[in-house]
Structure 1
Amino acid sequence: VKNIGARLNFLNLSNILIFFVPLLVGAFCLLYFKTDIPSEITQYIPEIFALIGLILVIKAFTERRSVRLSFALVLLNHLWVAMAISFNDNVNWEHIIIYLSGVLLFGLLGFATILWLKKLERRVFLNQFYGHSYEHPRIAFFFLLCCLGMAGFPISPTFIGEDLIYSHIQSGQLFLAVFVSLSFIIDGLALIRIYARVFLGPHHKTYHESAYRSS
């Protein structure tokens, strides 16, 4: 996973906004004209979109600097998974809404929390453990809830939504099932990694007490 992520170092917030967001808009347009697209093409679209989401969440997991980029990539992964499932036949849109409702709610709250913390602290990165829970325990707790909500913990509609997503994967779509499953697994790991790097560990300001390992 780290080797794949290293090959994606060209991805930054600017490139995401320039390339992947318009690509997602284009995917919505394809969905609108789905009935006009030959079935020989549409049968491969779910796997392609799910693979795009998987690539983005791998980059989120291996990102070593930008918290905002990593969190945004996790959010985009969920959107691509939803888009992939939307191209399957007989999709219940209520299920997609349930799935995305928790993702968007906790995702936007989590992103706002990151911006809030960056206003209070100059050093909010992923290259080490910064221990910001020492000085901002409430922010740490709230951000943890946002991470759990995005990852499909039972506090979020996404918990039910992920099961509903699987119900729309057909028996012959092995690659789609694999891509979606890997996306969900790495998604959770990426979110917990973000939380751990930002809020756990010894505080980067040396005036805080910290326990040292005994010899």
Structure 2
Amino acid sequence: MLDDIWVDDSVLALRPDFAVLIVTAHGLRNGPTDDRSRAWLEAASAVEVQTDKIDAWKDAYKAFGAKPQRTRPSVDALTRRMPLPEINQVVDAYNSISVKHALPIGGEDLDRYDGPARLVRATGEEVSEEALGQPEPGEVIWRDDIGVTCRRWNWRQVVRTRLTEETTNAIFLLERLEPMSLEELKQAGEELCDLLSELSPEVRLASRLVSGGK
């Protein structure tokens, strides 16, 4: 699946600087928040918010007609929820990396996917969960063969692919815009992999950087 994930050229036309680091994890062991994952959240909460990176995402939202004050980029919404919420160990891990680097990260249950993930401009006719509403034509969405997996680039994910304590195979989407460098993106990915390996020493990890339509 990793090699089949793609970003549509129409999305790159909006933001040619976009890149996504995809990490897959097989053999995870998840569980409720514990002292270890709580410490990760507390450390991330103490980091100064990097507003320049968040502002880049607000500009990207405006480019396809979204109002970032109404439907905020995921990392913007997360940094406004201090102290960071406790969800479960794996979600705590990627949320801590997201806030530390001002980097939108989506984490989803790979076994709930049907076909590869792809980032596209919506037609307005996609299948979407009722709670999320229907994407507007031209909106940037993540989707699979069933339908929408995340609306408005990284605003909100569907329940279908949510990471739970029973999740054993997961996919993480680390999304970058300038001024974040590709080097920092890769560093954030390595840090996430370190946390996942700490949670699950036997986990099998793989990654791929997608940018420029490749």
Q: TM-score, normalised by structure 2?
A: 0.27
Q: Which has the larger radius of gyration?
A: 1
Which structure has the highest helix share of the two? 1
Which structure has the highest strand share of the two? 2
